Amino acid sequence: MNAAPGDGATYIVRGGNPISGTLKPGGNKNAALPMLASTLLGGEPVTLENVPDIRDVGAMLDLLGELGATVTAQEIGCWSVDPSTVSTQTLTSSLAGDIRASFLLAGPLLGRWGRAVLPRPGGDRIGRRPLDTHLHALIELGAEVEVLPDRYVMKAPQGLHGADIFLHEMSVMGTENAIMAAALAKGTTTIHNAASEPHVQELCRLVEKMGCPIRGIGTNVLEIEGQQDLGGATAVVGPDPIEVGSFIGLAAVTGGRLKITNAMPQLHHRMTRIGFERLGIHWENDGQDIIVPAGQTLEISEDLTGGIPKIDDGPWPAFPPDLTSIAVVLATQARGTILIHEKMFESRLFWVDRLISMGAHIVLCDPHRAVIVGPARLQGQDLASPDIRAGMALVIAALCAEGESTIHNIKQVERGYENLHERLQSLGADIERTT
């Protein structure tokens, strides 16, 4: 998989068309990346199906190949990784510095080979995202960690050992690294204050299939029985709830009727529904599918206590942080006033100046809070995508705006959304991708 598509490309978007039709969501980026990292844990091939064709996944597959693993495309969306050919535990590629998920390789490399040398990871610039939670967990499992200006050198010459760990924060990737390292540690590891997002649960189930028992999946306390060796497995990456939430909002603000198949609404979208209903956005559950009705009138619900209504994010099962940017643009199209409180990352809201330039009525109170007054008639503008989710929010804004918008730096959006312009075109959007 080529990790570089999208460099220098732009979207040309003409707003005004309703987004209608049927959409099958892609595989969950936030599940696929740790599941790919976990393929290094065993001595046999692991096959993953429904893997999204996005930049970050392409980068992770390339990094696995750089380590010496045999990476094979079985068919579209299906990849096999054979870790028996791994020849190094050191990454030097610039790709490792491009995606934050490259650091998920620390746990498997330490657990299996007792050594990992990784560059400082990249990813979205949405605020401070220290790796302390990862490193402290690995140290408690017996790793020696040296922090250098450009890389992390981690060693466990005597192997890892089970430990009773209380994570410094409910970090998703920190939890995932601890799970993978503990799977090959001697003895039992208990992880307290663990993240419990559905994609963490998917990783746990894959590691179980490889031969490591895990108790407490879906809770904030995990108990992992470390094994001397793990085997291969086959798993299917679940649907991406952030993509589903993005398209629910897009259909609602453009007035279209959209059916999203295999969306797993009861697992993923109960809190998303609560947040979106505050904006006047409704949908119907039909088994595992979601149906967004056409012609919705968006109006912000009054707060029962008389205050300004609010949407705020938090760790699972709270409103997903990755949908905060989407909620901001949706709020610009709803009648009323609402506060969006981004609790997790202090720079995630800094992109709203782009929406203001399009005509949105937004007051950025501080790095974490924005007050939006709607509805606003947005006008097409020349825009640039700062990160994955803000980039998708700008695409949504452009699709409900009057006139033409140009969105630059779309490689950021394409890190998280598969074949976005083609899928939007199939749903009626007037969007072109130019290079």
pLDDT tens sequence across 276-291:
999 999 999 999 999 9
All domains of the chain in start order, with CATH = 10-26+239-434 (3.65.10.10), 29-236 (3.65.10.10)
- CB-based burial label for 141 (10 Å; 0-12, 13-18, 19+): buried
Which one of the listed residues 124, 312, 313, 322 is annotated catalytic?
124
Q: How far apart are CA 58 and CA 7, in angstroms?
A: 14
The contacts of residue 75 (CB under 8 Å, 6+ apart) are none
User: Average model confidence (pLDDT) for the chain?
Assistant: 95
Token pair recorded at residue 80: 């096999």
Residue 97: what pLDDT? 80
5-64: pLDDT as tens digits? 446 899 999 999 999 999 999 999 999 999 999 999 999 999 999 999 999 999 999 999
Task: Quote the tokens at residue 82.
Answer: 């054979």
pTM (2 decimals)?
0.94
Q: What is the pLDDT of residues 312-341, one digit of tens each?
A: 999 999 999 999 999 999 999 999 999 999
pLDDT of residue 129: 55
58: its two tokens: 């392409």
- Confirm whether 124 is a catalytic residue: yes
What does the block give as tokens for 208? 């179980």
Q: Percentage of residues in the chain with pLDDT exceeding 90? A: 90
| 264/285 Cα distance (integer angstroms) | 9
The residue with tokens 């959304």 is 417
Contact 385, 408 (CB under 8 A): yes
